[in-house]
Amino acid sequence: MSNQSVVKFAQELLLNEDRNTVSPALISAKIDQVLTFQPAWQNGFDRDAAIAELVRRFSLWVGTDSTIHNDDGHKPWLEAARKTDWRYWQRYREYLESRMSVVAVDALDRSTDTILGMLEDPLRDGPWDRRGLVVGHVQSGKTGNYTGLVCKAADAGYKIIIVLAGLHNNLRSQTQMRLDEGFLGYETRPIADDIREIGVGLIDRDPAIRPNYVTNRTNNGDFSTTRANTLGITPEQRPWLFVVKKNKTILTRLLTWIRHHVADGQDPNGRKIVRRLPLLLIDDEADHASVDTGEQVFDENGLPDPEHEPTAINSLTRKILNTFVRSAYVGYTATPFANIFIHERGQTAEEGPDLFPSAFIANLAAPSTYVGPAQIFGLRSDAGRTPGLPLYREINDHVGEDGKSGWMPHTHKNGYVPVSQRDTGIPESLERAIESFLISCAVRRLRGQGAAHCSMLVHVTRFTSVQKVVHQRVEEYVLSLRQRLVRRIGHKDAEARLEQLWNSDFLPTIESARRDFSSFVDQMAPPVWSDVLESVRLIVADIDVRMINGTAKDALDYADQTGPGLKVIAVGGDKLSRGLTLEGLCVSYFLRTSKMYDTLMQMGRWFGYRPGYIDLCRLYTTAELADWFGHIADAAEELREEFDLMAASGATPREYGLKVQSHPVLLVTSRLKMRAAKSLMLSFSGQVSETVTLFTDSAILDRNLEALRQLVARLGDGEVDPERDRGGTKQRWQGKLWEGVPGTDIITFLNSYKTHPVAYKVNSILLAEFISKMNAVGELTKWTVGVIGGGRGKSVRLSDDLSVDMLRRASEGAEGRYSIGRLLSPRDEGLDLSSAEWNAALSATQASWRPDPARAKSAEAPSEPSGPAIRRVRGEGINGQDGHPERGLLLLYLLDPALAGPDLPTGLPPVVAFGISFPASESGTKVEYKVNNVAWMQEYGGAD
């Protein structure tokens, strides 16, 4: 505790200094001041660790949130004067400042003010109903955000606060514990008189403000009618907190109790309602279980079927909200796509409206210390993927070549017994991952982090029976390592393996992370191997191998541990895939094969904050899953860019919902949640489609080259090496440009060109059908076509008067295909814009700019327009420009396979790639993408 106390008070002293002057020397001087006041804190104090922590805190910056909101019927109410005596928030703020940077706490204060302000004033007479959605990055601190919101809501006058916390006991218990610390201020136990103050309760101990609780932190601590009936509810004085599972029995019990013990009136139909008490309902993981996945029917006037029966959790959540005359609903999620598919007009008499976030959607930015998909897997760029932190290690020894044999084949069933040829019964990659975990724990101890928790995740199957076998084998391997290293019997081989891993993996990674990712990594020199080995020997006996099976014990042990942190290898499946935080997660061994966008994102437990040890973390997974996480990072950035643009233009949640519902990337989310049984309706309006997955079959490449030659022959004369004015400077492209090309020529080209079957966003036949449908409503009829050259590859003749130098695009190593990063750049995508249109798109981009380190966005506004802004100005017109939805842009590139790298076969013909930039459109035209359920399950796996 001495380090934490010293850091807290040194931070207070440093707040008076200019942030630009805060240096290790100044920090050390402030630490000396603190220790002068409190000499006792010198016992066990680690000065280097404290300085490193304060350097991190004062170099941190936080991005800017953005919101889309609809203020119909809303009365602004949250002013500074209203917050003068907010004791719940004040003590939570003080609690946070002892643990994190004041910069981050200030950002949380602003963020929760914005969210609370978009809800209704709890003192306002009813009826009112506000529903919103908060979208954070995976593992970025959403619980901390809604804890702050709960504190402020209680201060403002919300009296009943319900938190829906996951599907399993361990997540519910973990959430209860977090709220015990951050809001209640004492441990919730079955015996109400047994008060043990913790967290904020140690800062302001006044029992007069102590909130009431109905649920507690134990495994059986969920809502109980028997217990609730003994409490005698008087929430007029103090707020009441309920932390409940998304469970039909529990929610039915809670609804019944509210109607019988809290209700104080009836509506005209005799339904019991609550008039006097305002409700705040927070829905954690709001895209999971809360969404009504049943098909709801609407009549020809767009009115919902009043007899529709929603799914159980959705129905009960809405009934609870509908029982209160004054209610606010806030969903929290990192994967909001299912929520945006909720029909805004979905409503029944009993449940009231569906959970569509009609009042607002808020996108939370992350601090610069956050490590998410963009930081680990990089983002697309026209020069390939931007580099990520060097933490990923490929697994390829878990399955046979046929995919149906080996240790953990893709399609194993319940009861399967994993088989390995190795004596240990596990593949070498898992042995290596376990050894990496030992080294990570050992080095963290040497860095002064011995009291912190360390975890390893092993997530290879969803079947409990298979997990048991994996758990047993992992435990046996850890035990054998322990006997060798501690007893020093047959230890030389084990020590040699660890030293080889240290030299070949850890030292180079620490060095490259310090060099290329200095903002994430402390600049401390790595320890010498003899010290690391000694530290491994000291900690190996503490390694605990567990199965995570959904009980509260999994969450409790972290909270109850005092002294040295736990060192846990957690073997699990679905219980680990949502919400449950593995404290100090260092190593992940991950084989799940689902490609569902939201499922994969939620399984990414390795995202989050790793202060002082990110260079020691490892992610062991397959090349295919790493590729999919790259897709996810790109898709998330696309949708957030669109969100920022719409937020700046004053759009409502409904308008954003319509935009997202037709986004082709959502082929990778649950079709159940999209309420489409056999097909998806897609729109490409406002999207960019580019071929980044290409064939390596010479016959198909020749066919595509011929399709390009025939298109060029039809186009005739064009503009050679076009030049455009861009912000007062001239930009020039090598190649040829044609304008006013009929849509029929584009359709003919696309029908002749063959796209790769795994390119899920670019299907040439589907694109041709979409353009044809748009032509029928007078859109996409006049195209600009460009053939872009100027590369370093060989020259290819396309016609008598057109030769093109091929471009170099590196292959990313996907087996059996030519995969690249980005094809189009925003520079190319704006080629058809006039100077005035380009300037309008740039202005819109800069106005919507939200710096966010989680999205690899700096604090400096861009100097070129973004893709979404280009497509918006082309189609709808912004900043004084007229829209031209008839204008599409087709850009064609020739890639030289000889320059792509060693992964491609030799002697391939030129590779034709294309990108289409579709203007934004308000026509609502869509095209049907048909897929049967078997094919869907084979390609993407099931939704969890």
- Percentages helix, strand, coil for the chain (3-state, rounded to 5) are 40, 15, 40
Among residues 149, 170, 113, the alpha carbon closest in space to that of 282 is found at 149
The pair of structure tokens assigned to 361 is: 């959607």
User: Could you read off the pLDDT of 347-356 as tens digits, one per residue?
Assistant: 777 888 888 8
- Residue 61: helix, strand or coil by DSSP? coil
User: Could you read off the pLDDT of 236-268 as tens digits, one per residue?
Assistant: 678 999 999 999 999 999 999 999 989 999 998
Please give the Cα distance from 257 to 795 (Å, whole number): 77
Please give the Cα distance from 456 to 463 (Å, whole number): 19
Q: Please tell me the predicted confidence (pLDDT) of residue 938.
A: 46
| 210 bridge partner residues | none
Please provide the average confidence, as pLDDT, over all residues in the chain. Answer: 84
What is the dihedral sign for C-alpha 51, 198, 78, 657? Answer: positive
Q: Please tell me the predicted confidence (pLDDT) of residue 662.
A: 45
Lowest mean pLDDT: which of 148-152, 620-624, 836-840?
620-624
Residue 300 has pLDDT above 50, yes or no: no
Strands (E), 30-137: 66-69, 128-135
Q: Are 285 and 332 in contact (CB under 8 A)?
A: yes
Residue 890 Cα to chain centre, angstroms: 32
Q: Are 274 and 324 in contact (CB under 8 A)?
A: yes
| 265 bridge partner residues | 273
| 330 bridge partner residues | 132, 282
User: Could you read off the pLDDT of 638-663 as tens digits, one per residue?
Assistant: 777 778 878 887 888 877 765 554 44
Which band of pLDDT confidence, cut at 50, 70 and 90, is reported for residue 573?
A: confident
Among residues 171, 150, 182, 289, the alpha carbon closest in space to that of 222 is found at 171
Which band of pLDDT confidence, cut at 50, 70 and 90, is reported for residue 596?
A: low
Q: DSSP letter string over 756-768? A: -TT-TT--HHHHH
User: Could you read off the pLDDT of 458-515 as tens digits, one per residue?
Assistant: 988 888 889 999 999 999 999 999 999 998 888 899 999 999 999 999 999 999 988 8
Residue 448 has pLDDT above 90, yes or no: no
Among residues 563, 568, 601, 603, the alpha carbon closest in space to that of 583 is found at 568
Q: DSSP letter string over 183-243? A: II-B---SSTT---B-GGGGT---GGGPPEESS-SSTT-S--HHHHHTT---TTTS-EEEE
- Residue 258: helix, strand or coil by DSSP? helix
Q: Are 348 and 304 in contact (CB under 8 A)?
A: yes
Q: Is the peptide bond preceding residue 127 cis, with omega within 30 degrees of 0?
A: yes
C-alpha angle 175/142/319, rounded to 5°?
65
**575 vs 369: which has the higher pLDDT:** 369
Residue 67 has pLDDT above 50, yes or no: yes
The pair of structure tokens assigned to 78 is: 């949250």
Please give the Cα distance from 473 to 468 (Å, whole number): 9
Backbone angles phi, psi at 289, to 5 degrees: 75, -30
Lowest mean pLDDT: which of 91-105, 463-477, 677-691, 716-730?
677-691
End-to-end CA distance of the chain: 40
Q: Please tell me the predicted confidence (pLDDT) of residue 269.
A: 87
Q: Which residue has the tokens 């002293």?
A: 13
The pair of structure tokens assigned to 726 is: 């861009």
Q: DSSP letter string over 423-440? A: TTSS-HHHHHHHHHHHHH
Q: Please tell me the predicted confidence (pLDDT) of residue 939.
A: 45
Q: Are 456 and 586 in contact (CB under 8 A)?
A: yes
> Of the ranges 35-49, 560-574, 593-607, 917-931, which is most confident?
35-49
> Of the ranges 371-375, 740-744, 804-808, which is most confident?
740-744
Q: Return left, alpha or beta for 753; rule: phi > 0 is left, psi -120 to 50 is alpha, else beta.
A: beta
Q: Which residue has the tokens 């040439």?
A: 764
